[in-house]
Each structure stands twice: as C-alpha cells, then as structure tokens.
C-alpha cells in the first residue's frame, strides 16, 4: 500500500510530465497493463474532480489503468453517494490519498455566483442541487469587498469551493475521520489551471509533503 506522501509525490511528478508534454500515458494504457490490472486494483489515489471536459483526471496526472480511483461531478461537490465512493476506495483498496480537484474558471462556480447575484426563479431541481451545495461558501465571499472585483471573486470562489469540499470530506464521514489518524489518510484540495496545465495542491498538505 502506498503512503499518502508517496502518492502525492507521484501525482506531482505526473502532472509535471503532463504540463511539459513529457507524457508516458501510452505505456500506462497498454494491453499488458490491462491484463495486469484485470485481476484486481490498487489505486494509489482517490480523486474527486469536476466533470469539465478540459480536466480529464488521468491525463492531467499522466496516469494509466488501475492508478486512480476517480469520481467526477460538476463543481466537485460533495453529496452522500460521492462520500460513499471515497469511503469505498479507502476501505476496500487501502488508498491513502484523497484529492479534491477543482479548476480555474469552473462553470459550476460561475453559475452559482451568477445565480446569487442575479437570482432567477425555477430551473431544474437537479441542477439546483449542485448550485445549492456550492452556494454557502460563495455567500461568504459575496459579503466581502470581493463582490466588486469579478475576476478576483471567481479566483477566490474556485478555491473556497475546493476547500469546502475537502473539509466536508474530512469531517462529514466517520469512516474517513477515523482513517485520518489511524491509517494516515490524507485529504487535500488542489486547483488545476486551465491555462498552464499545472495542479497546485494548496489545501491540507502537511509541512514537508
């Protein structure tokens, strides 16, 4: 089983390869690798990412078959089934690193800010269930001077949304809460830059990691 520290190192190295176009993905999706993982999986990290088509998780971390347990949902929000998916991977496969991966200019964040600043009635209840989960951290930001600076507001909002999801994962599940001290499970928040291709692990990374 790979430690959270080692897993984080692997993700950082893979992302660097992706951003510098030194990808190794071909070998990681080979037929040999497929045969190897058919019998069982031992993903070294769980990634809860946004569904945005520009942030395909395996690609941006230059990983292949069997490496990552990926959960994707618009706005990288937290809902019970998503928490359950993280619990499943952590318990079943012993995965010790969980990353909430948001990204710059996230559409779900933009839509929520828009809805808060110019409320409209109605809309799909299913879509609203996403906006409702992003909303609380946005409301806090809109109560500050950031509301007068649209660009800075979006930047802060993306990170606030990632922090909120990571915090929810750390404290919203007794399974995960238990695995943190007993097994060294680590939940971190990270932002992918659509512009540079780089991932910044900015939340919950212990000193020296």
Where do contacts with Zn ion occur on this chain (CB under 5 A)? 50, 52, 106
167-200 burial by CB neighbour count: b if 16+ within 10 A, else e? bbbbeebeebeebbeeeebbbbbbbbeeeebebe
Closer Cβ to Zn ion, 106 or 188, answer by number: 106
Return all residues near 146 (Cβ < 8 A) that are at least 6 apart. Answer: 152, 153, 156
Closer Cβ to Zn ion, 7 or 199, answer by number: 199
Smallest separation, CB 54 to Zn ion (Å):
9
Smallest separation, CB 104 to Zn ion (Å):
9
Smallest separation, CB 55 to Zn ion (Å):
7
76's tokens = 């990288």
Closer Cβ to Zn ion, 112 or 173, answer by number: 112
Closer Cβ to Zn ion, 38 or 194, answer by number: 194
Smallest separation, CB 5 to Zn ion (Å):
28
Closer Cβ to Zn ion, 55 or 188, answer by number: 55
75's tokens = 């706005």
Smallest separation, CB 147 to Zn ion (Å):
21
CB 7, CB 45: distance < 8 Å: yes
Q: How many CB atoms lie within 10 A of CB 148?
A: 8
Q: What are phi and psi of 37, to 5 degrees?
A: -90, -5
């Amino acid at each position: 089983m790979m430690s959270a520290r080692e897993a984080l190192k692997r993700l950082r190295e893979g992302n660097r390869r992706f951003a510098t176009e030194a990808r190794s993905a071909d070998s990681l999706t080979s037929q040999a690798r497929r045969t190897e993982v058919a019998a069982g999986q031992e993903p070294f990290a769980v990634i809860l990412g946004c569904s945005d088509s520009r942030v395909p998780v395996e690609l941006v971390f230059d990983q292949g078959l069997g490496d990552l347990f990926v959960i994707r949902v618009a706005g990288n929000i937290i809902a019970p089934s998503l928490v359950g998916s993280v619990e499943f991977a952590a318990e079943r496969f012993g995965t010790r690193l969980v990353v909430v991966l948001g990204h710059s200019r996230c559409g779900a964040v933009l839509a929520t800010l828009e809805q808060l600043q110019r409320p409209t009635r109605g809309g799909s209840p299913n879509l609203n269930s996403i906006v409702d989960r992003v909303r609380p951290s946005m409301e806090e930001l809109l109560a500050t001077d950031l509301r007068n600076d649209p660009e800075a507001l979006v930047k802060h909002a993306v990170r606030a949304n990632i922090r909120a999801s990571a915090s929810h994962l750390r404290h919203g599940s007794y399974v995960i809460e238990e695995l943190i001290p007993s097994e060294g499970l680590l939940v971190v928040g990270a932002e992918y830059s659509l512009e540079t291709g780089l991932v910044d692990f900015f939340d919950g990374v212990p000193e020296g990691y």
